[in-house]
């Protein structure tokens, strides 16, 4: 019988959720879901001087936003908790006594150290292959501290104990932890426990080949939420950092990734972070999502920008015509504000360019008069009326389109003019035409 798959993501709540940590959590989650196993969230909060509740909250929020639900852990419970290391001291004391009884611990200046057996340790890593670590030299491999003089625990010790206690079958983590693994295997052996399977995934590097730091653009998961990225797009992009479906596809639904995901298919090379590709994917997800989903995601950004959205039908109509223009949800307010307020600002450059010639105002007045007589205010009538007027005035269609656009929106760019006019409605459009005409002093 195949042992149950149990994996864990074990962040320290000392700062925001890093994109590298999110990728590690995602790969653990994918592996658990692929095998019908359990994904456990464990908070390694032994560093009391640096841990904050805000950082822990950011971890929970980031994982939930990405759709990485955990089966056991804070807020989810489970039979093998507590899932905060700060609440597991009694467990660590018990294992420490076991090591002391076995003669594996000695005191050094108030600290407790683990006595290395001084041997070669072979790490058979699923991603990196077999690596022989020579731990025989005390100069390059000093005896490991497991408890500081102040009584606080060292990461290496509690990490191993928690993985034993929580029956972790596979440890999937960043390659920067690979050098720690032989030390951990020494602890497993001293405790008479079988080590889990290890899989160290490639690091995420910037375009220049440097390791991605906390200060680099795109490093904070919270920044994607703030900027209006779609969670599905960011998650999709993270899947491609070290793994691929092997058919050059870039947009791939998470259910299919779960079916295809195997640790053996993780790329050995470091992953190059490309925010432009993530941005492109985001645009693809927005373009292809349903209007209902788009409205759901756009609403919070409109409300944050103090845009009144009480008329649901009008909101739906507005968002339906700007959706194709949106690449980030945070752009929604900029693309739609003028639909909802009457005192919108005019872009001075657009006004100067379009109304710099006297005939532009005259043409807007003529268009206002023609539109006033329209009874059936719809796309077809608006377009035919404008084009017929252009022919009558002997001007290009654009000579009417551009003044109309600036008049109703204050901008020179936006969705299709005829769609804008139809959605705004006759009364609003004529009022806006008049505002522009009056502002120009043309009448």
Reported as a single tens digit per residue, the pLDDT across 362-391 is 999 999 999 999 999 999 999 999 999 999
Question: Does the pLDDT of residue 195 top 80, yes or no?
Answer: yes
Question: Does the pLDDT of residue 83 top 90, yes or no?
Answer: yes
Token pair for 420:
């804008």
| Choice among 97, 211, 214, 396 that is catalytic | 214
Q: Are strands 197-201 and 170-174 parallel, antiparallel or unpaired?
A: parallel
Query: Which residue, chain included where needed, has tokens 């507005």?
Result: 318
CB-side exposure of 404: number of CA atoms within 13 Å?
32
- The predicted structure's pLDDT at residue 330: 96
Question: Does the pLDDT of residue 295 top 90, yes or no?
Answer: yes
Question: Does the pLDDT of residue 270 top 70, yes or no?
Answer: yes
- The predicted structure's pLDDT at residue 2: 60
Query: Which residue, chain included where needed, has tokens 């993501």?
Result: 9
Q: What is the mean pLDDT of the chain?
A: 95
Given CA atoms 140, 146, 148, 153 in this order, what sign does their dihedral have? positive
As a whole number of angstroms, the distance between CA 183 and CA 177 comes to 11
As a whole number of angstroms, the distance between CA 228 and CA 387 comes to 38
Q: Are strands 6-9 and 38-41 parallel, antiparallel or unpaired?
A: parallel
Q: What is the pTM of this model?
A: 0.92
Token pair for 220:
């904070």
**3 state DSSP class of 219:** coil
- The predicted structure's pLDDT at residue 30: 98
Instruction: Render pLDDT for 116-158 as a digit per residue (tens, 0 to 9).
Output: 999 999 999 999 999 999 999 999 999 999 999 999 999 999 9
CB 172 within 8 A of CB 28: yes
CB-side exposure of 32: number of CA atoms within 13 Å?
24
CB 165 within 8 A of CB 91: yes
As a whole number of angstroms, the distance between CA 11 and CA 41 comes to 8
Q: How confident is the model at residue 68 (pLDDT cuts 50, 70, 90)?
A: very high
* Preceding omega of 231 cis (within 30 degrees of 0): no
As a whole number of angstroms, the distance between CA 384 and CA 389 comes to 8
- The predicted structure's pLDDT at residue 251: 95
Instruction: Render pLDDT for 167-179 as a digit per residue (tens, 0 to 9).
Output: 999 999 999 999 9
Token pair for 369:
């008069």
Distances 28 to 23, 148, 200, 340 between C-alpha atoms, Å:
9, 31, 11, 45
- 15 or 172: whose pLDDT is higher? 172
As a whole number of angstroms, the distance between CA 231 and CA 328 comes to 11
% of the chain beyond a pLDDT of 70? 99
- The predicted structure's pLDDT at residue 243: 95
- Mean pLDDT over 266-282 rounds to 93
- The predicted structure's pLDDT at residue 256: 97
- 46 or 346: whose pLDDT is higher? 346
E runs forming strands in 166-305:
170-174, 197-201, 204-205, 271-272
DSSP-assigned beta bridge partners for residue 117: none
Q: How confident is the model at residue 51 (pLDDT cuts 50, 70, 90)?
A: confident
CB 337 within 8 A of CB 237: no
Token pair for 438:
């009056």
Alpha helices in 191-290, H assignment, sequence order: 221-227, 231-239, 254-260, 275-288
Distances 321 to 11, 339, 340, 422, 428 between C-alpha atoms, Å:
42, 11, 14, 10, 17
CB 118 within 8 A of CB 135: yes
Please say if 325 is a catalytic residue: no
- Mean pLDDT over 182-196 rounds to 98
Q: How many CB atoms lie within 10 A of CB 50?
A: 12
Residue from 319, 315, 417, 318 nearest 371 by CA = 417
As a whole number of angstroms, the distance between CA 183 and CA 99 comes to 15
Q: How confident is the model at residue 182 (pLDDT cuts 50, 70, 90)?
A: very high
Query: Which residue, chain included where needed, has tokens 């079958």?
Result: 169
Alpha helices in 53-180, H assignment, sequence order: 53-65, 89-101, 155-165
As a whole number of angstroms, the distance between CA 83 and CA 99 comes to 23
- 217 or 259: whose pLDDT is higher? 259
- The predicted structure's pLDDT at residue 279: 97
As a whole number of angstroms, the distance between CA 338 and CA 345 comes to 8
As a whole number of angstroms, the distance between CA 252 and CA 250 comes to 6
Token pair for 191:
């405790």
- Mean pLDDT over 256-272 rounds to 94
Most confident of 7-16, 299-308, 398-407: 398-407
Please name the residues in contact with 432: beta carbons below 8 A apart, sequence gap of 6 or more. 342, 407, 408, 424
Question: Does the pLDDT of residue 237 top 80, yes or no?
Answer: yes
């Amino acid at each position: 019988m195949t042992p149950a798959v149990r994996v864990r993501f074990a962040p320290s709540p000392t700062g925001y959720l890093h994109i590298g940590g999110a990728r590690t959590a995602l790969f653990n989650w994918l592996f658990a879901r692929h095998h019908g196993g359990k994904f456990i969230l464990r908070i390694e909060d032994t560093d009391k001087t640096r841990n904050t509740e805000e950082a822990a909250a950011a971890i929970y929020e980031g994982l939930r936003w990405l759709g990485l639900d955990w089966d056991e852990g804070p807020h989810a419970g489970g039979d093998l908790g507590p899932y905060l290391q700060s609440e597991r001291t009694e467990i660590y004391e018990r294992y420490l006594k076991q090591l002391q009884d076995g003669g594996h611990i000695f005191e050094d200046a108030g600290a407790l150290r683990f006595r290395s057996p001084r041997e070669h340790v072979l790490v058979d890593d699923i991603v990196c292959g077999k690596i022989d670590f020579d731990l025989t030299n005390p100069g390059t491999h000093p005896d490991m501290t497991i408890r500081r003089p102040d009584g606080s625990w060292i990461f290496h010790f509690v990490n191993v104990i928690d993985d034993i206690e929580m029956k972790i079958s596979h440890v999937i983590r960043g390659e920067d932890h690979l050098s720690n693994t032989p030390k951990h295997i020494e602890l497993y052996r001293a405790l008479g426990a079988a080590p889990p399977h290890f899989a160290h995934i490639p690091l995420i590097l910037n375009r220049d080949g440097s390791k991605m730091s906390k200060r680099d653009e795109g490093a904070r998961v919270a920044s994607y939420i703030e900027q209006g990225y779609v969670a599905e797009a960011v998650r999709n992009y993270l899947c491609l950092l070290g793994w691929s479906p092997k058919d050059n596809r870039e947009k791939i639904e998470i259910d299919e990734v779960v079916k295809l995901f195997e640790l053996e298919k993780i790329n050995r090379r470091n992953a190059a972070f490309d925010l432009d590709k993530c941005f492109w994917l985001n645009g693809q997800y927005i373009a292809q999502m349903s209007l209902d989903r788009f409205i759901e995601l756009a609403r919070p950004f409109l409300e944050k920008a103090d845009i009144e959205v009480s008329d649901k039908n009008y909101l739906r109509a507005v968002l339906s015509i700007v959706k194709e223009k949106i690449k980030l949800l945070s752009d929604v307010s900029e693309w739609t504000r003028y639909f909802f307020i009457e005192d919108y600002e005019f872009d001075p450059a657009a006004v100067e360019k379009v109304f710099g010639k006297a005939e532009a105002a005259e043409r807007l007045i003529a268009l206002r008069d023609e539109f006033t007589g329209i009874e059936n205010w719809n796309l077809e009538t608006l377009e035919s009326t404008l084009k017929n007027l252009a022919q009558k005035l002997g001007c290009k269609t654009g000579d009417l389109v551009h003044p109309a656009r600036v008049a109703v929106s204050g901008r020179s760019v936006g969705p299709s003019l005829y769609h804008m006019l139809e959605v705004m409605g006759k009364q609003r459009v004529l009022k806006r035409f008049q505002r522009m005409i009056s502002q120009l002093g043309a009448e």
